Amino acid sequence: MTNNRPIKVSFQGERGAYSEEAAICFFNKDVIIKPCKNLYDTFESVEKKTVDFAIVPVENSLEGSINETYDLLLSSNLKVFGEINLRIKHSLIACQGVELKDIRTVYSHPQALAQCRKHIRNLGLKPIATYDTAGSVKMIKLKSSKSIAAIASARSATIYGMKILLSEIEDNKNNYTRFFALSFSDSSPTGSDKTSIVFTAKHVPGALFSVLKEFADKGINLTKIESRPTRKTPWEYNFYLDFEGHREDERCKAVLDSIEKKGMLTKILGSYSKAKSDAYQTVNSY
C-alpha cells in the first residue's frame, strides 16, 4: 500500500493528543506522525499528499458530534477508510513539584472540560478552554506555574515530563470517542462493514421518511443520523447517515440508487470495516 515505507499519518493537536493515540491504535504498527494545528490542516495534509492518512474525531459518546469534522467531510474529496473507538481516560496534570492544593486554574479542550465538569467544580477550579488537550500540557509546562493544571491523557504527561495529580477524572466512565481514518479511497468489503453518506431531504412532508423507508424496506440497519445546516438555504439541512453494509453490497447499492434517483443523495463519504465493540482501545496503554 505504501511501497514498504512507513505510513505517514496526520492528526489535529500536539504530541500526546487522543487523536495521536487513535492513529497508533488504528494502524497497530510504527507510523510517522504529523501533528497539525487544526482540523482543516489535517484534511489538507492528505489532500496535498504530504501524508497517507488523517485521523479525525467524529463524535464523543457523552458530548456528541464534532461539527467541524462533519462540515469538512462534506467539502473534502477524502473518503472514510476506517473507524476506531477509544476509551477516553482524562488525567489532571501539572508541573513537577506541584501539589493538588496549589491548583487554581485548569486548561484543556472544551470537550475535555465538559467531560470533567463535576471534578472541576468539586475542586473549585477555573476552567479555561484551549485548542487541544496535549497542547494544554505543553503550554502549562512553558508557563511553569504552580497554580495551573491541564486535563489530558496520561501519555501526554510522560511525553512532556509532567506530573499526574489525579487519574480518570472523567465524570462518566462510558466515555468513548469515535475517530475516522481518512484517505483518497475507502475500503474493500470485509463482510462486517459500515457506510457513511450525506443526503438532503426536500422541504416537503414525508421527504425524510421516504429516505429512511428505503433502508427499512431493504432490512438495512441505521447506526446514526445527524443533521447539519446546508448554509445555502435557511432551515435546510444535510443529513449524515451511517448504516450497516458496504456500498458495493447489492441491497446497499439498490438503496443508494433509489435515493440518488430522488435527487437527494449528496455524497457517499465511504465504506469501511466496522470498529469491533470488544476492541475499544484504552489510551492509557501507552
- Is the distance from CB of 178 to CB of 281 less than 8 angstroms? no
Strand partners for 64 = 60
Q: Is the predicted pLDDT of residue 2 greater than 90, yes or no?
A: no
User: DSSP alpha helices (H): ranges in 177-249?
Assistant: 207-217
| 239-269: b (≥16 Cβ within 10 Å) or e | bbbbbbbbbebeebeebbebbeeeebbbbbb
Burial of 189 (0-12, 13-18, 19+ CB in 10 A): middle
* CATH code of domain 193-271: 3.30.70.260
DSSP string, 116-175: THHHHHHHTPEEEE-S-HHHHHHHHHHHT-TTEEEEE-HHHHHHTT-EEEES---S-S--
Q: Please state, as a whole number, how many other Cβ atoms lie within 10 Å of the Cβ of residue 165.
A: 19
- Is the distance from CB of 220 to CB of 247 less than 8 angstroms? no
Residue boundaries of the structural domains of the chain: 7-87+176-184, 91-166, 193-271
The one-letter amino acid at 109: H
Catalytically active residues are 177, 179
Q: Is the predicted pLDDT of residue 54 greater than 80, yes or no?
A: yes
Length of the chain equals: 286
Long-range contacts of 122-126 (CB under 8 A, 24+ apart): 125/149
Q: What is the dihedral angle through the alpha carbons of 179, 183, 184, 189, rounded to the nearest 10 degrees? A: -70
- 228-264 residue pLDDT tens: 998 888 888 899 999 999 999 999 999 999 999 998 9
- Is the distance from CB of 9 to CB of 23 less than 8 angstroms? yes
Please determine whether the domains at 7-87+176-184 and 91-166 fall in the same fold group of CATH: yes
In this prediction, residue 284 has a pLDDT band, given cuts at 50, 70 and 90, of very low
Average pLDDT for 199-208: 86
Cα–Cα dist 80/182, whole Å: 5
For residue 13, report the phi and psi dihedrals to the nearest 5 degrees.
125, -170
Average pLDDT for 267-281: 80
- Is the distance from CB of 253 to CB of 62 less than 8 angstroms? no
Q: Is the predicted pLDDT of residue 283 greater than 60, yes or no?
A: no
Q: Please give, one letter per residue, the 3-state secondary structure of 31-69.
A: EEEEEECCHHHHHHHHHCCCCCEEEEEEEECCCEECHHH
pLDDT given for residue 165 in this prediction = 98
Cα–Cα dist 223/26, whole Å: 21
For residue 27, report the phi and psi dihedrals to the nearest 5 degrees.
-85, -15
Q: Is the predicted pLDDT of residue 102 greater than 90, yes or no?
A: yes
Q: Is the predicted pLDDT of residue 191 greater than 60, yes or no?
A: yes
Distance of CA 194 to the CA centre of its chain: 16
Cα–Cα dist 87/83, whole Å: 14
The one-letter amino acid at 80: V
- 146-171 residue pLDDT tens: 999 999 999 999 999 999 999 999 99
**CATH architecture, domain defined by 7-87+176-184:** 3-Layer(aba) Sandwich (3.40)
| CATH 3.40.190.10 at 91-166, yes or no | yes
pLDDT given for residue 63 in this prediction = 85
- 23-53 residue pLDDT tens: 999 997 778 999 999 999 999 999 999 999 9
Q: Is the predicted pLDDT of residue 22 greater than 50, yes or no?
A: yes
